[in-house]
Structure 1
Amino acid sequence: MTGIDPTTTGTSEAGISETGTSDEVVRAHAEQQFADELTALRNVDDRPRPPRWAMSPWAVSTYLLGGELRDGTVITPKYIGSRRLIEIAVASLATDRALLLLGVPGTAKSWVSEHLAAAVSGDSTLVVQGTAGTSEETIRYGWNYASLLAHGPSADALVPGPVMRAMQSGAIARIEELTRIPADVQDSLITILSEKTLPVPELDTEVQARRGFNVIATANNRDKGVNDLSSALRRRFTTVVLPLPDSLADEVDIVTRRVTSLGASLDLPADLESLSEISRVVTVMRELRSGLTADGRTTIKSPSSTLSTAEAISVVTSGLSLAAHFGDGVVGADDVAAGLLGAVVKDPVQDAVVWDEYLETVVRGREGWDDLYRACRDLGPAPMGRA
């Protein structure tokens, strides 16, 4: 599938609007959703651009981190965190080294990957989704078997995968969850990354990457059943570790921005200015994953779940939907309680004990949290009963 040019005008039969998006699309690609920002950046960008890049490395980092352009255009931040990490990632893509975004689940690895590809190539859709069943053909190429049986191996019968298409066009290819791909399939990338060629022995030929080609891979280090990268493959990546947000304020800001965006795209008629529950949801997540209360006075047990920023976004978005459709439009404790329970209690035995202890030792006695404690208790005992 090829991406839609954000500069496309007019409306097609599929309902594509002037900005390249459609009101029938659940989630637009980054280059569609932020087409105006990308265009504004390209218009003011007078810095050197690597071959086939849509904009300079400075403009790419500005698109990710946000800022105000000299013409007054405001670029919204796509990533809230260390500027240096983003600069390292962009600088790596400007060389011949691939980029590996590493971190725990929910640290915006896929989000950053998508926006980097959108800014650099104008197309974030050249994606391989890594799973335990991902085959070498998914990464390299496949065949149109009807044509193959009728005429034998030929260029017309070859079906290029996302990586091959990126090589042919000089674009960025994305590989999601690289460590979930079997090790022998992972190693099919070694020749691509080191020699910048993809052999096609059936046709006695090869595809040579055009300048501008590179790969962004993502991987998390807490996934069960992870297939570690071989040293030969890992050496061909620049690894950038995306951490969880440093402060409560940063994490609240991230969740607020994402929930506001999701609420608008889903047309949820709720009062986004009254999302006071965000701070409490984020506080619960941060305390449980760190094993320490915010004031540093009480040690608590941590559940088996990651409780990332992505989980907090999911909890608040679910609460927003409940408030919009079954409440008064203002997110309250009753709306987020069920989401918190579902996010924390992944293991019905051990996590249930952790959640009950946290409610009794932290939430119950915290000033101003009485409504959250009651809402959580009104849901009944956590799965498998209380400790």
Structure 2
Amino acid sequence: MTEIVAGQAELLRPHAEQDYAEELATLAAQDTRPRPPSWKMSPWAVVTYLLGGELEDGTVITPKYVGPRRLMEVAVATLATDRALLLLGVPGTAKTWVSEHLSAAISGTSTLLIQGTSGTPEEAIRYGWNYARLLAEGPTAGALVPSPVMTAMESGRIVRVEELTRIPADVQDALITVLSEKTLPVPELGIEIQATKGFNLIATANDRDRGVNDLSSALRRRFNTVVLPLPASEEDEVAIVTRRVEQLGASLELPKIPATVDEIRRVVTVFRELRSGATSDGRTKLKSPSGTLSTAEAISVVTNGLALAAHFGNGTLGPSDVAAGILGSVLKDPVADKVVWTEYLEAVVREREDWSDFYRACREVTG
């Protein structure tokens, strides 16, 4: 196996602990508050890392999450207890983002991860086997392949389970003993793995997935649930989109062009109005499309627009650069959503005097 040695600048998407290594190290060095066992920093420092702030030496910690402070305090406090944390919300509310940064700040790594899908096997949660060694040696410790959960239990770190409700119910239930007894039996070897202090689990789930593989009441009781809301205000959402677009643009090495706040605000306004079912002034009721029109999708629309403007446009982000991206986000159902979008264009966008260029661009791609 070839050893990969790559500078951070060469990575398409660095892990949180790589991207913010300097901030994490500075926080840990200046953190004098009590730390739970195996934690890299105190709960106070973890929340500061997430929400941003200025340290005593003047170091500025950039915010990773924009939202109610109390939510993050509850989430971090949960992980300092023996209860697991479930981050719940509609798609695009930064559940995965928060999960990653919590793990990076608490354990120093965010890579102990199980990605939940309909095909996730029980071995992904418990353990598997190296079948070549299993056939040669029988069930031995050397033939055992630990799961991220087992590794986290042994090392006292945080393990992440993404999209928990996408995992089949019988596989989900493999977590019950882990979360209640803090032990993972390995009957083939006649042993059990007991969790080291510092171990805990963060799961994420979309409330749009209710009814897919609902959590059993036994498993749900093992979690403290924190619901992550959509950004409360337009200003918050514009700030989130602007910051993430800048980060993604730098990571993707897109040519630096002005990402005008006005154009970002327009995308955010469209998304907020359509998902709320009313214009921002409350005067006009609207139909909502079938998609979520999340903040994450707004970030994608603006980033794609920047790429279009840089490589095929005039070097400035404009209405024509974001129109197609917005259309793709809105039209999840080609028939019903097109009716919603067309009505919005004619009743709202067309009537806004300073949106005439945007209206023409949208009509061109809508057809």
Name the TM tier (shorter chain). Answer: over 0.9
- Tell me the residue number matched to 1:102: 88
Contact 1:38 1:63 in 2 (8 A): yes
- Tell me the residue number matched to 1:115: 101
The residue identity in structure 1 corresponding to 2:218 is: A
Question: Do the aligned partners of residues 13 and 160 (structure 1) sit closer, same or farther apart at CA in structure 2, a change above 3 Å counting?
Answer: closer
Q: Pick the aligned partner of 2:242 from 256, 259, 264.
A: 256
- Tell me the residue number matched to 2:167: 181
Q: Pick the aligned partner of 1:288 from 266, 274, 281.
A: 274
Q: Percent identity?
A: 72
- Tell me the residue number matched to 1:16: 6
The CA distance in 1 between the partners of 2:175 and 2:255, in whole Å, is 47
- Tell me the residue number matched to 2:134: 148
- Tell me the residue number matched to 2:153: 167
Residues 1:199 and 2:189 aligned together: no
The CA distance in 1 between the partners of 2:345 and 2:355, in whole Å, is 10
The CA distance in 2 between the partners of 1:315 and 1:349, in whole Å, is 21
The residue identity in structure 1 corresponding to 2:277 is: G
Q: Pick the aligned partner of 1:335 from 321, 331, 335.
A: 321
Query: 4+ residue runs of structure 1 moved beyond 3 angstroms?
Result: none
Question: Do the aligned partners of residues 224 and 189 (structure 1) sit closer, same or farther apart at CA in structure 2, a change above 3 Å counting?
Answer: closer
Q: Pick the aligned partner of 2:311 from 303, 325, 350.
A: 325
- Tell me the residue number matched to 1:3: none
Question: Do the aligned partners of residues 28 and 183 (structure 1) sit closer, same or farther apart at CA in structure 2, a change above 3 Å counting?
Answer: same
- Tell me the residue number matched to 2:227: 241
Listed one character per residue, the Cα deviations across residues 315-339 of structure 1 (whole Å, up to 9, x for unaligned) are: 0010011011111221000000000
Contact 1:304 1:351 in 2 (8 A): yes
- Tell me the residue number matched to 1:126: 112
SS in 2 for 1:379: helix
TM-score normalised by the chain length of structure 2: 0.98
The residue identity in structure 1 corresponding to 2:310 is: A
Contact 1:282 1:312 in 2 (8 A): yes
Listed one character per residue, the Cα deviations across residues 76-133 of structure 1 (whole Å, up to 9, x for unaligned) are: 0000000000000000000000000000000000000000000000000000000000
Residue 273 of structure 1: how far off its partner (Å): 5.0
- Tell me the residue number matched to 2:73: 87
Structure 1 gaps of 5+ residues are 1-11, 382-387
Residue 226 of structure 1: how far off its partner (Å): 1.9
Contact 1:187 1:233 in 2 (8 A): yes
The CA distance in 2 between the partners of 1:345 and 1:75, in whole Å, is 38
- Tell me the residue number matched to 2:264: 278
The residue identity in structure 2 corresponding to 1:149 is: L
Residue 16 of structure 1: how far off its partner (Å): 3.3
- Tell me the residue number matched to 1:209: 195
SS in 1 for 2:82: coil
Contact 1:128 1:175 in 2 (8 A): yes
Listed one character per residue, the Cα deviations across residues 173-206 of structure 1 (whole Å, up to 9, x for unaligned) are: 0000000001111011000000000000010101
Q: Pick the aligned partner of 1:361 from 347, 352, 360.
A: 347
Listed one character per residue, the Cα deviations across residues 24-55 of structure 1 (whole Å, up to 9, x for unaligned) are: 21100000000000011011100000000000
- Tell me the residue number matched to 1:9: none
The CA distance in 2 between the partners of 1:302 and 1:70, in whole Å, is 47
The CA distance in 2 between the partners of 1:380 and 1:250, in whole Å, is 29
Decide which moves more: 265-274 or 153-162.
Answer: 265-274
SS in 1 for 2:305: helix
Contact 1:260 1:272 in 2 (8 A): no
Structure 2 gaps of 5+ residues are none
TM-score normalised by the chain length of structure 1: 0.93
SS in 1 for 2:209: coil
The CA distance in 1 between the partners of 2:239 and 2:56, in whole Å, is 25
Decide which moves more: 222-231 or 98-107.
Answer: 222-231
- Tell me the residue number matched to 1:374: 360
User: Size of the alignment, in residue pairs?
Assistant: 366
